[in-house]
Amino acid sequence: MSENRLSAGIGILIFFIALVVYTLTLEPTNSFWDCSEFIACAYNLEIGHAPGAPVFMLLGKIFSLFAGGDVTKVAFAINMLSAMASALTVMFLFWIICWFSKKIILKSENQYNFKNKQLLIFGASAIGALSFAFIDSFWFSAVEAEVYATSSLFSAIVFWAILKWEESGSGYESTRWIVLIFYLLGLSVGIHLLNTLTLPAMALIFYYKNYKPGFKGFSLTILVSFLMILIIIFGIIPGIAGMAAYSDLFFVNDLKLPVYTGVIFFVVSLSALLYFTYQRSLKWKSKWISTVIVAFSFWLIGYSSFTLLVIRSNANPFIDMNNVENIFGLVDYLNREQYPKRPLIYGNNYNSPVVDVKKRYTYKLYDGKYYKDELNPEYVYNNQTLSLFPRMASNDPDHEKAYQNWIKIKGRSVDIVQEDGTIKKILVPTFFDNIHFFLKYQLGHMYFRYFMWNFVGRQNDVQGRGSNLYGNWMSGIKFIDRLFIADEKNRPETDNYKKSRNVYYFLPLILGLIGLFFQYKKDRSNFLVVLLLFILTGIAIVVYLNEIPITPRERDYAYVGSYFAFSIWMGLGCLAIFTKIKYIRENKILGLLTLTVLFTLVPLKLFIENYDDHNRSNRHTARDYAKNMLNSCEKNAIVFTTADNDTYPIWYLQEVEGHRTDVRQILQPFIAMDWYANQLRLSYNQREGVDLSFKGTDLLMSRNRYFPIINKIDSAIDLAEAIKFIISKDPRTQVSTRDNEVLDYLPGNKLTMNVNKVNFSASCSYCNLSEDEIPEKIDFELPNRYLSRDEMLILDILAHNDWERPLYFVNENLLQSLGLSSYLYREGVMFRLLPFKNKLPEKLEHAQVLYQYKKVKDEFKWGNVNQSNVYLDYMNIQIVSMLRFREMFSEIANTLGNLGEKAKAIEILDLGMQLFPAERIPYSFFIPEMVEAYYISGAKNKGDELANEAGNFLNEELVYFESIKKQGQFNSISNEAGKDMYILQELVKITAVYSTETYNILNEIFERNYAILN
């Protein structure tokens, strides 16, 4: 068999090995975070969060067709896109390692006698590729519908294509590879911008083929390639859309022509310019210019995938982020204007005072005309407090302490003149403080920790925040691990900890380092190519992200390109071992045995260690939890959610599976955005629109950003009248600020909302109340001095709703700033607004709790959460706490017990314990409530049993923390110890009332641990 056929055959075999593994461990339905959104957007070709992924949407749509019309299989089919892309990435990595291996062998044939050349090349490359297939971060993305798997595939294909170009001849044969590369780079923008970072490594290969290597040429190549990245990301990508937008602005506003006339003119003009330039280059016989024009044209063809977003946005789908049918909306979308920006080279520190605010502008399209509107402003900071390379730049008050927890900030004293003329001294981080934070947190914690996870081992999958208890790297060699993490000898182990602890004994890292030094010695030029790829897809991303000290999740998925590069060295490490031992090099049997040993020690070890905590088969938690949220709601409800994990799964269920499409979901943080508020009026597939008083240009971001509360009226104001007052545009309803800004205001903080008894009764299936039993109105008081726009719009929704549709909130704190939280009552997973303050009438309370009891017992699904063969990662466990399921069970049981329904109360508590056992879901703040509910329900034995079980587990943890304290490491886990002591204290308080014997046991545990830990 020819070498090319053998290479292709082995590559395909490796592809199928990876694909089978990914398919067996694939998430069968939607996942948490962005995956649910991506699935919904792909299935219906909708517009997800910025900066968009139209190519991923199209590929996902194609894969969704394999569901065969079964909407419950759509998520699995789109998840298969990631599995397929990841397996193809592994295949291309195999061929890439083969290429680098051949280069080394060709340069070393005079030194070594390679009798088994193919065995060495293919064996080493297969080990490197399969090792990458089973590393932690890559496998994680391979089994869910996220863009990172497809992004990795495009990076791998582009890099493989430049290697094919290097092997090709001249003329057309060579140019076609360059054109293909730029077309793929253009397409890849429609997946993720990470692919652009491969340009410098590819530029080096181009340089080495065409020029004699030298420092000057090398430096110029790197500089030009870096400039290309900057021009593409910050210039061409937003610039082309920006020029089209301003062209349309001129044609629409000045020439009074239809919308998109200017866009069409710009596209035609750009196409004509490229065509005539190309024709001119042929006359000039300039191969360089013609190649550049063709390559750029194909890049534009790939990049044109974003027109899909504009087309689909015009159809007004339910998920229509930023409303990009407005071409300026597309520009803002590509620039990620809704997200905060942090300085990279020079700028503010976390405590830099703001001295000025510069307005930034865009345009919004209303009624066929563009209106000037404001973007997030640019803040100007005190010049004395600015720093070079500012790594501690977040202004979030919660982050200041976090920065100080990570490093000891020495700082420099700066005198600040305040508004009243007094001088205030502040301590501003120095350049070296920023470097210290960069090295310790951003580089050490947020990159090298992830790197070590993949090539050394991982302590557990609990998110690491600096503690030596969670989320650290771990080798499995105890005397080394003790230097970096807490001694785990006496640590209580849950099922989660056991499965997520993966140790590789440094073997993948050692193999990669051997390959790194081997390539450096044998093939210096190509070593620089791989090194550049490694740095740009790793450390360079760290610099660019300028990560904040508190993140909602781990970010290891962003650096998979760096692990891809290191896996090339793992393959070359196998080659190095072969070349160093003559007998292996020349004896096929010994060669096969060596390959078997290396395969067992690295890729097979990675596979065995990582399989259990990457196996998502039979897990349906994200889908079922969202179903429970929707099924908590009555018909035609409006439900307010707050974040990704309580929103995107609902989008998936409604948009893909068509479940409970009568419920209208509103994402509370988005309400203040004009495009989202305007979309609320639209109806989508049975989801009726929501009426608002604020319309069209009222919602421009330059208007009505907040509303002062000026107490001119002492009595309570009717909410509907208050809204009319604000929206009237009468100068008497407005107030001027010191900056001459005219604002609508609210003339009092005491409000009242009439209760439409007929509407309320009709919208509440279990509320069998007479009209006399329903209040005429509800009174509430606004606690703050102003209303933000989102708060005002929520009040507007309440006023217009007139109790016609049930209103639900995922968190009762959502109405705290409006003084309405005392009118919220749990209804299943959600909280419902009812016209009763603090306490429901007993008859209604009884009906409501029986309604909840039936739903939880008979209708709710739990995603196989209690099955031991279903792995629950840290996020799945966190969602149980976030949605407060245990609290739900205990609250329902408490109410049932107090109303005399003790058998039902015990039944619901038993169900909760069965679904969320401690070995699956560790004890949390809500366990004491479960214990008390058992006591209230008359199940003293079960209450004692749960209290003692929780107390024993907490005691085991606290004894472990005591051992850590003796090692001088207590500071890193003091919060964990404090949490356990709080839960234990609550158990002591409860048992003191209900069970003297259990109280004595728990109190002894509490007092002993309190004396030791304080």
Q: pLDDT per residue over 973-996, tens digit each?
A: 677 788 888 899 999 999 999 989
Q: Tell me: pLDDT of 856 over 70.
A: yes
Q: Which of 246-255, 532-541, 684-693 shows the lowest per-residue confidence on average (mean pLDDT)?
A: 684-693
Q: Please report the pLDDT score of residue 924 as a whole number.
A: 81
Q: Please report the pLDDT score of residue 735 as a whole number.
A: 82
Under 8 Å between Cβ of 168 and 160: no
Q: Tell me: pLDDT of 584 over 80.
A: no
Q: Please report the pLDDT score of residue 276 as a whole number.
A: 92
Q: Please report the pLDDT score of residue 448 as a whole number.
A: 95
Q: Please report the pLDDT score of residue 665 as a whole number.
A: 95
Tens-digit pLDDT profile for residues 587-639: 778 778 888 999 999 999 999 999 999 999 999 999 999 999 999 999 999 99
- Max avg pLDDT among 277-281, 489-493, 968-972: 277-281
Tens-digit pLDDT profile for residues 290-308: 888 999 999 999 999 999 9
Q: Tell me: pLDDT of 212 over 90.
A: no
Under 8 Å between Cβ of 347 and 387: yes
Q: Please report the pLDDT score of residue 521 as a whole number.
A: 92
Q: Tell me: pLDDT of 970 over 60.
A: no
Tens-digit pLDDT profile for residues 108-136: 766 655 567 788 889 999 999 999 999 99
For the residues 4-9, what does the mean pLDDT come to?
A: 89
φ, ψ (nearest 5 deg) of residue 780: -150, 160
Q: Please report the pLDDT score of residue 396 as a whole number.
A: 86
- Mode of pairing for the β-strands spanning 717-718 and 750-754: parallel
Q: Please report the pLDDT score of residue 112 as a whole number.
A: 58
Tens-digit pLDDT profile for residues 649-681: 999 999 999 999 999 999 999 998 989 999 999
The beta-carbon contacts of 2-8 under 8 Å, at least 24 apart in sequence, are: 3/118, 6/118, 6/122, 7/95, 7/98, 7/122
Under 8 Å between Cβ of 793 and 621: no
Q: What band does 18 get if pLDDT is binned at 50, 70 and 90?
A: very high
Q: Please report the pLDDT score of residue 714 as a whole number.
A: 82
Q: Please report the pLDDT score of residue 921 as a whole number.
A: 85
Q: Tell me: pLDDT of 172 over 60.
A: yes
Q: What band does 698 get if pLDDT is binned at 50, 70 and 90?
A: confident
Name the residue with tokens 């890193």: 972
Q: Which residue, 785, 787, 782, 791, is CA-closest to 706? A: 787
Q: What band does 966 get if pLDDT is binned at 50, 70 and 90?
A: low
Q: Which of 113-127, 353-367, 849-863 shows the lowest per-residue confidence on average (mean pLDDT)?
A: 113-127
Task: Encode 578-588: b = buried (16+ Cβ within 10 Å), e = exposed.
Answer: bbeeeebbeee
| Residues paired with residue 416 on neighbouring β-strands, in sequence order | 424
Q: To the nearest whole number, what is the mean pLDDT of the chain?
A: 90
Q: Please report the pLDDT score of residue 583 as a whole number.
A: 62
DSSP state of 809: E
Q: Which residue has the higher pLDDT, 489 or 923?
A: 923
What stretches of 231-326 show up as alpha helix (H) in DSSP? 237-249, 261-284, 287-303, 307-314
Q: Please report the pLDDT score of residue 142 as a whole number.
A: 96
For the residues 549-556, what does the mean pLDDT come to?
A: 90
Residues 775, 756: Cα–Cα separation, whole Å: 9
- Max avg pLDDT among 270-274, 711-715, 914-918: 270-274
Tens-digit pLDDT profile for residues 59-83: 999 999 999 999 999 999 999 999 9
Q: What band does 586 get if pLDDT is binned at 50, 70 and 90?
A: low
Q: Please report the pLDDT score of residue 956 as a whole number.
A: 85
Q: Which of 109-113, 461-465, 653-657, 731-735 shows the lowest per-residue confidence on average (mean pLDDT)?
A: 109-113
Q: Please report the pLDDT score of residue 190 as a whole number.
A: 92
Q: Tell me: pLDDT of 398 over 90.
A: no
Q: Please report the pLDDT score of residue 824 as a whole number.
A: 94
SS3 867: coil
Q: Please report the pLDDT score of residue 289 as a whole number.
A: 87
Q: Which residue, 831, 834, 855, 857, is CA-closest to 844? A: 834
Q: What band does 1009 get if pLDDT is binned at 50, 70 and 90?
A: confident
Q: Please report the pLDDT score of residue 834 as a whole number.
A: 95
Q: Please report the pLDDT score of residue 490 as a whole number.
A: 73
Tens-digit pLDDT profile for residues 762-798: 999 998 888 888 999 999 999 988 889 899 999 999 9
- Max avg pLDDT among 96-110, 316-330, 505-519: 505-519
Q: How far, in Å, are 152, 224, 721, 887, 1009 from residue 628 at the CA level?
A: 35, 54, 37, 15, 39
Q: Please report the pLDDT score of residue 495 as a whole number.
A: 61
Q: Which residue has the higher pLDDT, 576 or 114?
A: 576
Q: What band does 807 get if pLDDT is binned at 50, 70 and 90?
A: very high
Q: Tell me: pLDDT of 585 over 90.
A: no
Can you spell out the DSSP letters for 37-92? HHHHHHHHT-B-STT--HHHHHHHHHHHGGGTT-GGGHHHHHHHHHHHHHHHHHHH
The two tokens of residue 393 are: 């730049």
- Max avg pLDDT among 161-170, 444-453, 695-704, 857-866: 444-453
Q: Which residue has the higher pLDDT, 17 or 706?
A: 17
